Structure 1
Amino acid sequence: MKDDRRKVALIGVGMVGASYAYAMLNQNACDELVLIDIDEKRAQGEAMDLMHGLAFAPSSLRVWAGGYEHIRDADIAVLCAGAAQQPGESRLALLRRNVRVYREIVENIVRSGFCGVLLVAVNPVDVMARVVQQLSGFAPGRVFGSGTALDTGRLRHLLAGYFQVNPRNLHAYVMGEHGDSGFVPWSQAMLATRRLREVCRQSQGRLRMEALTALEREVRGCAQAIIEAKHATYYGIGLVLCRITRAIFEDENGVLTLSVRLGALYDGGDIYAGVPCVVHREGIRETIPLALTEGEKNKMRRSLRILDEAYRSIEGMLRG
């Protein structure tokens, strides 16, 4: 990746893509952002709207609408194109529709000569990140999804309210699928340097683990609650994608829970799932293994099985 410039190609400028672009503008997170969409007029309109606000933003970002021929020299391609999740529809139910779309998208990316990082944000994100890696043939460390980063943010927001502390001082993760089988490894959850189980145990009944497991269920239902209220989620994930982008450009070596190829971790092999990992300039530097309890290992195995079965159900579509 070049050190003197920061160029991002955004593929898909629906509500998620537009929210990401808006966050990038407000955080001055790159120097150039090219918007690519099957609806070229929509991409042009979004670019104009963003540029008209540039005078009021702490940014010198150049935003413009383009095509796949313009992504060859991009450092990061953020993939937001795809079918929207409908009320009551699981993320895995989206899979077949989005695989058809991404066969063409990834072919165009590879043909362009792009050699940067691919950040996948389309649902079901764990399976789609694996699909994109298989279709592109890129090294797994260069292809990953937003994973459970948003779920983790939702969890920390709720925990912050319960413990009355800043969410930045809570170290708890949602792991596995970005969806129904995702889970919280409570054995590893901490407030500063203290495990949450210890904090609850020493609170004389004021704080209870049962309340935390109720918050975990609430996290799992957040997306559907938002979809039922306003038809889609986009601000949160837009900010998550901006955060990941900054971690890459700043060579941060920061820890985020992203959809990555697991390899030997949890015996995941080629499966992509949300786990804590270190993000640097070239993508994923490494994953961080956690000392899960046997019950948590079983939850991880179940989540990985669901994700692998979903991938196997469409694997034939990748060869056609």
Structure 2
Amino acid sequence: MFMVMNHRKKVVLIGAGSVGTAYAYAMAQHPLADELIIINHTKKKAVGNALDLEDAVAAFGTPVHMVSGEYADCAEADLVVITAGVPQKPGETRLQLVNKNLAVIKDITKNVVESGFQGIFLVAGNPVDILSNAVREFSGFPANRVLSSGTSLDSYRLRIALSKLFNVSPQSIDAYVMAEHGDSEFVAYSAATIGGKPLLEFAKNRGYSMDDLKEVEDQVRNKAYDIIEGKGATYYGVASALVRITEAILRNTNMVMPIGAYMAGEYGQQGVYLGTPAIINANGIARIIEMPLNEDEQAAMAKSAKTLEDIQNNARKEGFLP
């Protein structure tokens, strides 16, 4: 069984854009890795970020060695985090980025694998579900060692929205956004709980209807567009989600969290990455936790999977996927 936690913990970040630098800055504040190496298509930017971040490390007092590097540095890494890619523009859906970023991801994956890398891929570029499956296919790695941020950010957005509605801490809400990280995502309300009590019952007792909860779901689904319209990009939230996943991997915590995982029959789906809770540890995805969905939610999962499958099939026809 794969596990590489018997040496200095080494993370390679590929992509020094807004998400990548926010992730690196968050990693500077948390003593999770001994070394974080930044790779960017513009070497100068990677160097500048590493120099800036080492000052932050000194201020925070964390023992993280921040440096710029090359693909050869991936050879002994525990984790490669991919945030590189063409960013989403105002009014543009994540799925509209697909062919642009498949070309980018193919080149990155090839270079990482050729270095001799034997660790875990964590993918965050958009459309993340499509790119994660591309990394799996291009690398030949087992599915447990290729995971993505998936619906982690969406689930955190859901919990903060529900916390405002119910005046309950988001950490006390156990609720997940499922399926695509994008427009076909949905909330698994039927399985959600607050303090062990079914969320639907909790909401009803406080005078909230399913229509109110669907409005929250729409707010969560569209929050990225609101942020992009306001400031041009989203990065703090997803970077923080990536740090939580990184912690589960590097510290081998067996934490249950929402991520993007390859479906091999779960939820009746096959061949696509979908957002789902899973147990995460030093081996990547230890086990997918298949949520008990009601009939409508199961249909929403199938519809989302079909959306992603169609995109993948088109990309395959156009030569962007093998």
Q: What TM bracket, shorter-length normalisation?
A: over 0.9
Residue 109 of structure 2 corresponds to 106
SS class of match (2:187): coil
The percent of aligned pairs where both chains have the same amino acid is: 39
Q: Does 1:184 align with 2:187?
A: yes
- TM-score under structure 2 length normalisation: 0.97
* Cα distance in 2 between the residues matched to 1:57 and 1:290: 39
- Deviates further, 253-262 or 310-319: 310-319
Q: Deviations over 1:212-270 (max 9, x none)?
A: 11111000110000000000001111111111000101111111111111111012112
Deviation at 1:79, TM superposition (A): 0.4
- Would you say the 8 A contact 2:32–2:251 is kept in 1? no
Q: Deviations over 1:146-183 (max 9, x none)?
A: 00000000000010111111111101100000000000
Residue 59 of structure 1 corresponds to 62
- The match for 1:133 among 125, 136, 158 is 136
Residue 203 of structure 2 corresponds to 200
Amino acid at match of 2:111: N
Amino acid at match of 1:286: R
Residue 158 of structure 2 corresponds to 155
* Cα distance in 2 between the residues matched to 1:196 and 1:142: 33
Residue 264 of structure 2 corresponds to 263
SS class of match (1:222): helix
Residue 222 of structure 1 corresponds to 223
Deviation at 1:319, TM superposition (A): 5.6
* Cα distance in 1 between the residues matched to 2:58 and 2:95: 42
Q: Deviations over 1:58-96 (max 9, x none)?
A: 401001011001110000000011001011111000000
Deviation at 1:52, TM superposition (A): 1.5
SS class of match (1:286): strand
Superposed counterparts of 1:232-311, under 5 Å: 232-311=233-312
SS class of match (1:71): helix
**How many residues are treated as equivalent by the alignment?**
318
* Cα distance in 2 between the residues matched to 1:137 and 1:114: 12
* Cα distance in 1 between the residues matched to 2:293 and 2:78: 35
Residue 121 of structure 2 corresponds to 118
* Cα distance in 2 between the residues matched to 1:318 and 1:108: 17
Deviation at 1:318, TM superposition (A): 4.3
* Cα distance in 2 between the residues matched to 1:98 and 1:129: 11
SS class of match (1:258): strand
- The match for 1:7 among 6, 10, 29 is 10
- Would you say the 8 A contact 2:28–2:56 is kept in 1? no
Residue 146 of structure 1 corresponds to 149
SS class of match (1:290): coil
* Cα distance in 2 between the residues matched to 1:54 and 1:199: 44
SS class of match (2:190): helix
* Cα distance in 1 between the residues matched to 2:271 and 2:197: 34
- The match for 2:44 among 41, 46, 50 is 41
Amino acid at match of 1:245: T
SS class of match (1:53): helix
Residue 74 of structure 1 corresponds to 77
> Tell me, which stretches of 5 or more residues in structure 1 are unaligned?
none
Amino acid at match of 1:215: V
Amino acid at match of 1:221: N
Deviation at 1:143, TM superposition (A): 0.4
Task: Identify if the C-alpha distance between structure 1 residues 127 and 57 changes in structure 2 by more than 3 Å, giving closer, same or farther.
Answer: same
- Would you say the 8 A contact 2:76–2:117 is kept in 1? yes
Q: Deviations over 1:114-140 (max 9, x none)?
A: 000000000000111001100000000
Deviation at 1:209, TM superposition (A): 2.9
* Cα distance in 2 between the residues matched to 1:55 and 1:79: 25
Deviation at 1:2, TM superposition (A): 2.8
- Would you say the 8 A contact 2:36–2:67 is kept in 1? yes
User: Root-mean-square deviation (CA), in Å?
Assistant: 1.1
* Cα distance in 2 between the residues matched to 1:177 and 1:123: 11
